[in-house]
Amino acid sequence: MGMILAIDQGTTGTTAVLINAETLEVAGKVNFEFPQIFPKPGWVEHNLNDIWNTVVKSIQEVLKENNVKSSDIITIGITNQRETVCAFDKDSNPLRNAIVWQDRRTGDFCKNLDPQLKNEITEKTGLPVDPYFSGTKINWMINNDKNIQTAMAEKNCFFGTIDTFLIHKLTGGKSFVTEASNASRTLLFDIKKGVWCDKLLDIFKIDKSTLATVKDSFSNFGETQGLDFLPDGISINGVLGDQQAALFGQAGIEKGMSKCTYGTGAFYLINTGDECIRSKHGLLSTIAYREQGKDFYALEGSSYIAGAAVQWLRDQLQFFPDSPDIEALAKKSSDEKMANILFLPFFTGLGSPYWVSEATAAITGLTRDTGRPEIARACLEGICLAINDLIESIELDSGLKVKELRVDGGAVVNNFLMQTQANFSRTKIIRPKVIETTAFGAACAAAIGKGIMTKDQLQKMWKEDHAFSPIDISYFDFKKVQWKKTIKKLYL
C-alpha cells in the first residue's frame, strides 16, 4: 500500500517518519535540529528558512536511509509546535522570524488588557490571556515590524501557525489553510462556534483576510507541487497540533482517555468528547480534533519546560554531553541529600494551573554537599512535580482519579523519570511501544483522511511497552508539600 510520510515539526527540530500504510509500523525516522534564537531575555524566535531546511533534509534523509522512493508516499500527515506564529508572503517567503510559543514579549500587553475583555476572550476561546498564545504575538508583529506593516499595506501578508506555513510551501503556495486544533490555540477562534471570531480579531487588531481557512483535521489540505524532493500530487490528508496528535497517536479517541507528552515542555490532555468543559482549576479548554465539521474537545494542562530543563543542564552548565546521560547521573544521588532541594523549571513562565507569565526558574535548598547528581535528580523531580500539578487539576475538574497515564515523547525512555512520576502522582505510568506518538498520530490522521483506515482500527494498533507502578515512599509526599509551599512563596 506504500508509505505515509509524517512531518513532526517541533520546537527544537523536525522529524520525518515513514510509516507503512498497511501495518502502521514505523519504517524509519530522521531528525534534524535547528538553532534557537534569543534576541532579548524572554524572547524566543525561529528562522522559518531554518525550519523549512530541516523539513527538506529530514524527508530526503529518511527516504535515502530506508531505500524508499518518494513515489511510494501515498499521503502526508503534519503535526507542529502549536502557538508559534509566523508571517510570510504569497510566495511563501518569510517576512520575519517566527515568534515561538515560549516567547514572553507580550506580557505587558496581556497584563494591561481590560479584565472584562480578558473574561470574554477566555469564554470564547477556552484559553487564558497569556503571551503563550498566538494572537498577542500577531498583534506585536503588526505594531512593531516594518516588513509586516509594508506587506499588509500591499495585501501580501499571511499569518499562521507552522502547519499553515508548511502546507503553503509544500503545495507551491496553492493552499492557505490550517485545521481546528491549531486554530483553537490562537486566542482568535471561537471554539464553540468553530470560526474565527470577529470580536476577538477586533480586540487584537487583526484582519481576517490574513488568516487561513480552517479545515477538518482529516481532510485534503492540498497536494505537493513544485518541489525538488517530492513528486507533484501527493495529498496532505491529516493535520493536528502536536499535543492533539500525541493524544490521537495514543489512541485517546474516547472520552476520558488521557496522555502526557514529555517534550521541550510537558502537556497533559484528557479527551472530553463533544463536551467543551470549562476548567475551574487553571486548565485549558481546547479542540482535540474536527471530524466531518464536528469539533471534539479536550482539557489540557501545560508545563512550558520539561526536556528543555535537561537541555539547560547539558548546554548551559555542561553537566553531561547528551541528554540521556542525566539518568545515570541522577541515580548517584540519595534521598538524604535530596531532602530540601527543589528545581523549579520555570525558565519561560509558569503555566497551568497557576499562569504566572513573569515567573523565572529557581533551584532552592542547596547545601555545601550538593553536587551535580543532586541537581540532576532535582531537575527530573521538578519536571514530575510540575506534571503532577496538571494531574491534580484534571482530577479536580473531572471529579475522577487518574488511575493510569499514557506517556510519550523522547524523555519517556528514562526509566528513572517514569518511576519518579509514578511515585509522585500515585498512578500507573504506561509507556507505549511507539513513543514517537506525535508523528504516529499525524500519520494516523492522514490515513483516516485518505480513507485507508478508521478510528476503530487505531485503537487496535496501540500496544503497551512497559508500566511503572507507584512505590509508596514518604519522601515523595514530603517533596510535594515542599513544592507547593515554595511555589506559593516565590510566585503567587
Q: What is the pLDDT of residues 240-289, one digit of tens each?
A: 999 999 998 998 888 888 899 998 889 999 888 998 988 888 898 999 99
Residue 458 within any structural domain of the chain: no
Q: Helix, strand, coil % (nearest 5) of the chain?
A: 40, 25, 35
Q: What is the mean pLDDT of residues 446-459?
A: 87
Residue 126 within any structural domain of the chain: yes
* Percent of the chain residues topping a pLDDT of 70: 100
Residues 473/441, Cβ–Cβ less than 8 Å: no
Q: What is the mean pLDDT of residues 442-446?
A: 94
Residues 63/425, Cβ–Cβ less than 8 Å: no
pLDDT confidence tier of residue 358, bands split at 50, 70 and 90 = confident
Residue 477 within any structural domain of the chain: no
Q: Can you say whether the dihedral through the CA atoms of 335, 339, 345, 350 is positive or negative?
A: positive
For 10, half-sphere exposure in the C-beta direction (CA atoms, 13 angstrom radius) is: 30
Task: Give the model confidence (pLDDT) of 55-101 as tens digits.
Answer: 999 999 999 999 999 999 999 999 999 999 999 999 999 999 999 99
**Angstrom distance (rounded) from CA 406 to CA 261:** 9
pLDDT the model gives residue 24: 85
If residue 161 lies in a helix (H) or strand (E), which one and from where to where? strand 158-161
**Angstrom distance (rounded) from CA 229 to CA 49:** 16
Task: Give the model confidence (pLDDT) of 152-172 as tens digits.
Answer: 999 999 999 999 999 999 999
pLDDT confidence tier of residue 347, bands split at 50, 70 and 90 = very high
Residue 347 within any structural domain of the chain: no
Which residue type sits at 59?
Answer: I
Number of domains making up the chain: 1
List of residues 6+ apart from 316 with CB closer than 8 A: none
How many angstroms separate the first and last alpha carbons of the chain?
55
CB neighbour class for 392 (10 Å; exposed up to 12, middle 13-18, buried from 19): middle
pLDDT at 491 over 80: yes
**Angstrom distance (rounded) from CA 66 to CA 338:** 46
List of residues 6+ apart from 488 with CB closer than 8 A: none
Q: List phi, psi (to 5°) of 130.
A: -150, 150
Task: Give the model confidence (pLDDT) of 119-141 as tens digits.
Answer: 999 999 999 999 989 999 999 99
DSSP symbols for 414-426: -HHHHHHHHHHHT
**Angstrom distance (rounded) from CA 241 to CA 189:** 15
Residue 426 within any structural domain of the chain: no
Q: List phi, psi (to 5°) of 4.
A: -100, 130
**Angstrom distance (rounded) from CA 359 to CA 490:** 9
Domain that holds residue 156: 3-243
Global pTM reads 0.86
Would strands 404-408 and 258-262 be described as parallel, antiparallel, or unpaired?
parallel
In the predicted model, what is the mean pLDDT of the chain? 93
CA distances from 480 to 360, 425, 437, 453 (A): 20, 10, 29, 44
Task: Give the model confidence (pLDDT) of 366-383 as tens digits.
Answer: 999 999 999 999 999 999
pLDDT the model gives residue 174: 96
For 484, half-sphere exposure in the C-beta direction (CA atoms, 13 angstrom radius) is: 11
What letter does residue 332 receive in the DSSP assignment?
T
Residues 71/174, Cβ–Cβ less than 8 Å: no
Residue 210 within any structural domain of the chain: yes
pLDDT confidence tier of residue 394, bands split at 50, 70 and 90 = confident
Residue 116 within any structural domain of the chain: yes
Task: Give the model confidence (pLDDT) of 218-241 as tens digits.
Answer: 999 999 999 999 999 999 999 999
CATH number at residue 165: 3.30.420.40
pLDDT the model gives residue 355: 85
pLDDT the model gives residue 1: 67
pLDDT confidence tier of residue 215, bands split at 50, 70 and 90 = very high
Residues 138/85, Cβ–Cβ less than 8 Å: yes
